[in-house]
Chains A and B, each alone.
Chain A
Amino acid sequence: MYRYDEFDRRFVEERVAEFSDQVARRLSGELSEDQFKPLRLMNGVYLQLHAYMLRIAIPYGTLSSRQLRKLAFIARTYDRGYGHFTTRQNMQLNWIALKDVPEILGHLADVEMHCLQTSGNCIRNVTADQFSGAAADEIADPRPYAEILRQWSSIHPEFTYLPRKFKLAVTGAPNDRAAIQVHDIGLELRRGEAGEIGFAVYVGGGQGRTPMVARKVRDFLPEAELLAYCTAILRVYNLYGRRDNKFKARIKILVHETGIEELKRDIEAEYEALRAENETLSVPAEEIARISAYFAPPAFESLPERSAAFETALLRDPDFARFVERNLVRHKQQGYAALTISLKPIGLPPGDASSSQMEAIADIAERWSFDEIRVSHEQNLVLPHVRLDDVPLVFAELQRNGLAESNAGLVTDIIACPGLDYCSLANARSIPIAQRISERFADPARQREIGDLKLKISGCINACGHHHVGHIGILGVERKGEEFYQITLGGTGDETCSIGEIVGKGFSSAEIVDAVETVIDTYLALRTGPDETFLQAFRRLGEAPFVEALYPAKAA
């Protein structure tokens, strides 16, 4: 993991002091609420429906046990004893008091954490594949590059008042688990002809009310050019992105209105000029090596490919076998595995963990996963490096703490935004819908039969629940004071990225779970076999059979 040096520590301490001063000036009236708002947002403080919310940055979703314990402590001391993990790999506390924020920031600084740029019209916390450094299909670990970007973007003097928020994601593997094509900048690590590291660069993806898949602007950008190229993109966006309409201000609209070819020429011209005038934008190999050293593989043991303890447990315990089938990911190191800890227990709000669960996970990670935990954009946690021999022990420990739900990637592994239960932007509730769907499909055998299925729920058009890239997406809308839910089908955030299409008119809260079941039953009836996933079947069949099943009267 990255460790702060004296400079990094001083940076965070000065930022806490600066924000404490801003809070004091707000309380004294020197700053108006309008003037204070972007300052608090850039320090992670939102005003929600019932209270202030604090969004804590977890850069590229990587945590140590010590840090997770601190999050547990903060949630217990300043909130209601639980935290909510988000689709941007951060953690939110929904019930904090503004006066406590400077103190909480101080606690976070003690474990090298902060809330910097988790909101506001600035470069947001950089996200990455949750299996970084572990996944068998990885070309290179994306975290060193995400860390370089994190530093570069921290209080960037030029890019702190952008037209709108700006999100970057990095994947180190061709199988994209970081949804890079729905980010403002998406970076895919790849190797060049001589084996050198670089990036495919995508620009202008995003969700919200105008979902767009990013466009590729560079096939191969050498790693040293990362900051110069990102600076060029940001400068073009800062100068020419629309500021007249908040809803048209993301870079995706600039890409759309300018045209990708012209914008690409602007970016390339800016990049060439920047390279010539600022040599510090070129990242020297030594600096990449220095930062990469923090993310060096832990001291893996040399283990056989198979583990007797693991295989015995597989045979003896069907619950364990189910867990392995869904929640275990192949590791690049022989004899190890990465494990997903599902934060989607049947019938409970997706993405929440109690303080005692966080502490239990911290203990497990310390003992069995080289002291590391990851947060996934699918709102789960990950133990990245567990010996196969230890997986049965870890499973037992997870079971003891209500954390062994074996549903990773299944229909009940739902992404949901906080919705109208918390959020002042929402039109409809998300969490209760997620809970009811989860209960409807609770039967483990039925979930397994359905197979890989990503279901995502947003409580409004801002799409924080990523419904656009759900295989099944649900969008909450409000009509005459009543909540309705539209269904989108066929979206995906992976390397075959596509935006789901709305299939027809919305369903009431009472109808929506039945409607989801209708879609799933239609898939089960029409698939060529259990090997054909929902998304594959949808791509083969198109929306017609689903529309017919959902709206029989209309079809007749």
Chain B
Amino acid sequence: MAIFRNGTVLDHDSWTVVAAGAPVPAEGDIIIALADFIAQRDALLGRVGPVGVAVEAGEELDDIVGDLPRLVLVALRFPKYTDGRSYSKARLLRERHRYGGELRAVGDVLHDQIPLMLRCGFDSLEVTHEPTLRALREGRVRGVTVHYQTSAREGREAAPNPARRWLRAS
């Protein structure tokens, strides 16, 4: 499973995705489905290894908001690239709940949506689409680099014209 993080494609990922309802391994970095996390919350948070939670597009963030400081990773799913719910949730995690851990886009992650995902606060992407991986490796995923809105990347995007306060350039 290839992961794109901090501008590079990594062919190996330290995280293991625990299948829904499956037993939780004692060690290692695990990503667990939201329902399982809720069911085993105390045990999981008491675990030695890092815990990440996977949230489906139709699921609410309410049940993890209080635990965000202890979650090392949150994965938000794009069941299809045309399903935009996880963009809003990413922004809520970053801008409202000040989540500072790894925010991973999983599912139908494709070339032309990646610039939007990054602006909404994702900092890692699980990519399976071969042409998208190739484009990432070759540095061809750029999109439009000037923007009419601020984003979850405030502080990392330039403000090219202070008179037009919401303009940004990445």
Contacts and interface: CB of A to CB of B under 8 A. Distances in A.
B91 interface: yes
A287 B120 contact: no
Contact of A157 (B85, B89, B131, B147): B147
A161 B57 CA distance: 13
A158 B146 contact: no
A280 B166 contact: yes
A35 B84 contact: no
A163 B88 CA distance: 13
A7 B169 CA distance: 9
B163 A286 contact: yes
B156 interface: no
Interface string B56-97: 000000000000000000000000011111011101000110
A125 to B, nearest CB: 14
B131 A25 contact: yes
Contact of B166 (A15, A25, A152, A239): A152
B104 interface: no
Contact of A287 (B82, B115, B160, B163): B163
Contacts of A517: none
Interface string B128-149: 0001000000001011111111
B156 to A, nearest CB: 14
Contacts of B166: 152, 227, 280-281
Contact of B149 (A10, A152, A290): A152
A35 B110 contact: yes
A7 B84 contact: no
B147 A280 contact: no
Q: Which of A14, A239, A278 has the most CB of B within 10 A?
A: A239
A215 B110 CA distance: 37
B85 A238 contact: yes
A277 interface: yes
A26 to B, nearest CB: 11
A239 B85 CA distance: 5
Interface in A1-52: 5, 7, 10-11, 14-15, 18, 21-22, 25, 30-31, 35, 38-39
Interface residues of A, number: 43
B148 A161 contact: no
Contacts of B84: 158-163, 238
A284 interface: yes
B17 interface: no
A235 interface: yes
Contacts of A309: none
A273 B65 CA distance: 15
A370 B84 CA distance: 43
Contact of B120 (A10, A157, A227, A281): A157
Q: Which residue among B112, B151, B160 has the maximum number of chain A CB atoms within 10 Å of its CB? A: B112
Interface size class of B (residues with CB under 8 A): 35 or more
A7 B160 contact: yes
A157 B87 contact: yes
A121 interface: yes
A154 interface: yes
A506 B160 CA distance: 59
Nearest to A286: B163
Given A39-B112, A158-B120, A11 B144 contact: yes
B88 A158 contact: yes
Contacts of A156: 148-149
A296 B81 CA distance: 42
A265 interface: no
Contacts of A153: 148
Nearest to A276: B96
A155 interface: yes
Contacts of A39: 112
A356 B82 CA distance: 41
B165 interface: yes
A152 B164 CA distance: 11
A239 to B, nearest CB: 5
B113 interface: yes
B148 A284 contact: no
Given A157-B147, A157-B151, A159-B84, A7 B89 contact: no
Contacts of B88: 158, 235, 238-239
Given A7-B167, A160-B84, A14 B95 contact: no
Interface in B105-135: 110-113, 115-116, 119-120, 131
A77 interface: no
B151 A239 contact: no
Nearest to B168: A280
Given A7-B146, A155-B148, A238-B84, 17 more contacts: A5-B161, A7-B167, A11-B144, A11-B148, A18-B143, A35-B81, A35-B110, A157-B115, A157-B151, A160-B84, A161-B82, A273-B96, A277-B96, A280-B149, A280-B166, A287-B165, A290-B164
18 contacts: A7-B161, A11-B144, A14-B146, A25-B111, A39-B112, A155-B144, A157-B87, A157-B116, A157-B120, A157-B147, A158-B120, A160-B87, A163-B84, A238-B85, A273-B96, A277-B96, A280-B150, A284-B165
Interface of A: 5, 7, 10-11, 14-15, 18, 21-22, 25, 30-31, 35, 38-39, 121, 151-163, 227, 235, 238-239, 243, 273, 277-278, 280-281, 284, 286-287, 290
What are the nearest 5 A-B pairs in CB distance? A161-B84, A157-B119, A30-B131, A14-B144, A157-B116
